[in-house]
Amino acid sequence: MFKANLIEDSEFYSRRRIKVIFYFLPAIPIVFLINYNGLPIWVIILALLIYITVLFIGLRNAKKLTALSQERIMELDESTLRVKSKGKVLLLEIHLNTIDKIAISKEYGIPEESMKDIVKEISGKAKKNFIVISNCDLNQRFDFIIESYFMLQQLERVVESWVKRGYLIDRV
Q: What is the CATH number of domain 2-7+71-171?
A: 2.30.29
Main-chain phi, psi angles of 6, to 5 degrees: -85, 145
pLDDT, tens digit (0-9, with 9 covering 90-100), for 18-34: 888 877 777 776 776 66
- pLDDT for residue 32: 67
From CA 67, how far away is CA 50, in angstroms rounded?
Answer: 26
Q: Tell me: pLDDT of 40 over 90.
A: no
pLDDT, tens digit (0-9, with 9 covering 90-100), for 44-101: 788 788 888 888 888 898 888 888 888 899 999 998 999 999 888 999 999 988 888 9
Strand order from edge to edge, sheet including 169-171? 138-144, 129-135, 101-104, 169-171
* Averaged pLDDT of the chain: 86
